[in-house]
Structure 1
């Protein structure tokens, strides 16, 4: 493809994306495809000769689009949002066009140094402590990962390195190590324990408050003490700010005090809710982070107008992470690395290769500014509060509280049914709603009961979309009027 051909087809692609976003409400929110439909519509063998790009675009409409669940649809409420904004999309296009492989500083200095600046910008916007930035005298810093799952794995590897004085990372685990989560913690931490060799059997589930679903520090301390008495080495605690199920918020300061006293690494998973701190009135979610957190992760690709994938991980001290992850083969040796004056982000992640992800976050922050980012977060919180008001006012539904962010959890009340039958009826109602194509919800389970989850955060969602969703939910309700 020549530059002129690229120019022509590139304009077609940008026009296609613009038309798609402008007309997205014409599509059913959840794909109506049955398993195998997309595969059956595609040729079984690759083409022998090249095809015109117009054929690709035609099949995009004919084959691909029917199999898409529309995450940017204003009535997409199923999962936490995956914001894709115009400036971030263009930033991603620029990254693809440059084709940078930014594994070390020398392979493109701008790829590394722009990232160090933009993660410092984000830390400032969120009110995070200066020791998480690359400020003079700081031992910490930030890095863009692909997801919060990778961030959790990197944090656990760093915690193991620190706990073992560098030995576990270099020579494999020696003895039994334990990790602490709650029943509400994301499954990524258990997966990280499996990957590192700790094993799922050494992941401890700490009790939660039955009302708030927040981790109980007293039970955490008791479990750590029991493991120490049994000869284990406790390594890491994961506190969550905005759990996946219900956006519960763990008491980071109290958990951090336990970690400090017991010598454990505290990782704060704020994947969804952390970006809410761009609003000063939401800075309470940072309580305890500055004093106690060893690592902190949040996802601009969820709720901060930056398309997937873009997780930012900050560490208070980068040395254990770099020690755990640094391997320097001969082909990567270069003068800048050996000078010790540069950041080589290959030592801050699992993989060697890395894309120029910073461009899309940089583009989004510059386009919207702090003011625009705050307006987006505040809109989502306000819309969710309005929907919660509908639920609270209808005696046929029960609202799960608290709900401080953009997620509302609730359940229909069924008369004369036991818990299993209630759950079955709620799940059947959920399927009818999602099959309608008018909206898309998901579910969670609290105290054995199924709750419906409605997450607000798509940039184009307005109050009328929430009102229409509530009308549809009430229509599908099969209980007493």
Structure 2
């Protein structure tokens, strides 16, 4: 493929992508294939001779699309959102074309410096303390990780190195007596993401999953008791991962209380806000982040809810030297004349290689603006005329001439679904609806809810996933796609009601 062919075929692909996204509502969100389907559709070895571009294009629909789970379908309500926008897609094209491996400032100055600037922009949107900014007088700053799981691991390993320095002093080694590391203890909520346990496994430290209150929030008193008990047993508490927006129920740990305990007891507090963090750019949700000033590190994923395509996980630290202490390996071939004058991000994370991911964050922030991104999270305006009464009318603004403007987007759509569930006496809400996730279940046994979930996903008109807390099985309805509208929420609920009737009839 030469430059002229690239221009022609590239335009075809852009048209295909636009058609795919604009018509994604017509595709079922969950594929109807069995494991191994794809190998039956393509040869068992690569072609000897080059094939033609039109044949490759044809095989996208024949081979790939039958096995795609369409995360951006308005009927996809599983997991959490994965962001998608045209500005981010265009930025990734440019990043792929530049093709730099930005492990150091010298390897691509723009890659490093743009990342510093846009992470400061984003920090200011979140109203993070100045100590987390590159532009502050301290040693803080932000870096783009691949995922929140990576950020948690980086924070835990940095905290482990910091504590080893404190214990061993001049005798510090990255490979100390295993007896010390085996005594080190990390803490998190029982509702925290499994990546915290995995980070502890990789870091070879113990982890305590602490019980939460009635709102599934980890409290300071619980952490304090756990620290005291472990110290009495001769163990070494060193790290806490607090969660804002847990995966199961989108609950929020009390970081104000936890941060106070961590500062008093000398623990590194990392805040994982992978999904919920995007909402904090809205003033009405920013109080959920109160207490971040006590954290040593904070992370959220713009690639979940802030229109930036995967992967782009933003992490800030108060003292970047604590990261580089844990990851600094500096061979001669990576050194450069300006070393130390500006960050070399290879010292801030686990991989050496890194893509030019700040481009898509830059494009999105500029082409949406802060107000546009806030509107993506909280609302979209749709106007209707005529009388309208509904249990969810508190979500509407009534205008003159009997006109109603809907405020229904993501958070508002979630509350719409919540009200529909509450209006059906067969169902109950599990937990509290704060952002774009609604947890619900049929009143009754776990088994009937498991049967309902299987029936829903076998039906394939909508897609949900479950969770379980305190041995209670429930279904999760997440507002995921940027194209989801009020009619999609209503459609999903009608499907759920229809299939609930079906399993009730089968039981009879």
Look up the match of 2:259. Answer: 256
Look up the match of 1:165. Answer: 165
CA drift at 1:347: 0.5
Retained in 1: the 8 A contact 2:439–2:477? Answer: yes
User: Is 2:434 the counterpart of 1:404?
Assistant: yes
User: Is 2:396 the counterpart of 1:394?
Assistant: no
Retained in 2: the 8 A contact 1:161–1:169? Answer: no
Look up the match of 1:462. Answer: 485
Retained in 1: the 8 A contact 2:130–2:136? Answer: no
Retained in 2: the 8 A contact 1:206–1:216? Answer: no
2:321 maps to which of 316, 319, 322? 319
2:212 maps to which of 194, 204, 208? 208
Retained in 2: the 8 A contact 1:157–1:169? Answer: no
Look up the match of 1:179. Answer: 186
Look up the match of 2:25. Answer: 25
User: Is 2:482 the counterpart of 1:452?
Assistant: no
Q: Deviations over 1:349-374 (max 9, x none)?
A: 10100000111111111111001100
What does 1:7-46 correspond to in 2, within 5 Å? 7-46=7-46
Which sits farther off after the overlay, 277-286 or 161-170? 161-170
CA drift at 1:174: 5.0
1:276 maps to which of 276, 279, 289? 279
Retained in 2: the 8 A contact 1:118–1:362? Answer: yes
Look up the match of 1:331. Answer: 333
- Give the aligned CA root-mean-square deviation in angstroms: 1.4
Retained in 2: the 8 A contact 1:114–1:358? Answer: yes
Structure 2 distance, partners of 1:40, 1:427, is: 32
Which sits farther off after the overlay, 97-106 or 166-175? 166-175
Look up the match of 1:188. Answer: 195
CA drift at 1:424: 2.1
Question: Structure 1, unaligned stretches of length 5 or more?
Answer: 415-421
- Classify the secondary structure of the residue corresponding to 1:477: helix
Q: Deviations over 1:47-75 (max 9, x none)?
A: 11111122221111100000000001011
Retained in 1: the 8 A contact 2:75–2:492? Answer: yes
CA drift at 1:434: 1.6
- Classify the secondary structure of the residue corresponding to 2:374: helix
Structure 2 distance, partners of 1:138, 1:383, is: 42
Structure 2 distance, partners of 1:434, 1:73, is: 14
Retained in 1: the 8 A contact 2:78–2:480? Answer: no
Look up the match of 1:418. Answer: none
Structure 1 distance, partners of 2:20, 2:504, is: 41
Question: TM-score, normalized by length of structure 1?
Answer: 0.95
User: Is 2:439 the counterpart of 1:439?
Assistant: no
- Classify the secondary structure of the residue corresponding to 1:164: helix
What does 1:344-383 correspond to in 2, within 5 Å? 344-378=344-378, 379-383=409-413
- Classify the secondary structure of the residue corresponding to 2:77: coil
Look up the match of 2:290. Answer: 287
Structure 2 distance, partners of 1:363, 1:38, is: 35
Question: TM-score, normalized by length of structure 2?
Answer: 0.90
Structure 2 distance, partners of 1:353, 1:408, is: 38
Question: Structure 2, unaligned stretches of length 5 or more?
Answer: 379-408
| Moved >6 Å (runs of 4+) | 166-169
Look up the match of 1:91. Answer: 91
Structure 1 distance, partners of 2:289, 2:40, is: 49
CA drift at 1:171: 2.4
CA drift at 1:151: 0.2
Retained in 2: the 8 A contact 1:274–1:285? Answer: no
Structure 2 distance, partners of 1:216, 1:130, is: 26
CA drift at 1:447: 2.2
Structure 2 distance, partners of 1:196, 1:446, is: 27
Structure 2 distance, partners of 1:311, 1:256, is: 23
Look up the match of 1:302. Answer: 304
Structure 1 distance, partners of 2:414, 2:81, is: 13
- Classify the secondary structure of the residue corresponding to 1:341: coil
Retained in 1: the 8 A contact 2:442–2:449? Answer: yes
CA drift at 1:289: 0.5
- Classify the secondary structure of the residue corresponding to 1:19: helix
Structure 1 distance, partners of 2:453, 2:410, is: 22
Q: Deviations over 1:282-309 (max 9, x none)?
A: 111111101x100000000101111111
Structure 1 distance, partners of 2:29, 2:418, is: 22
Structure 2 distance, partners of 1:281, 1:123, is: 17
Look up the match of 1:142. Answer: 142
Look up the match of 1:417. Answer: none
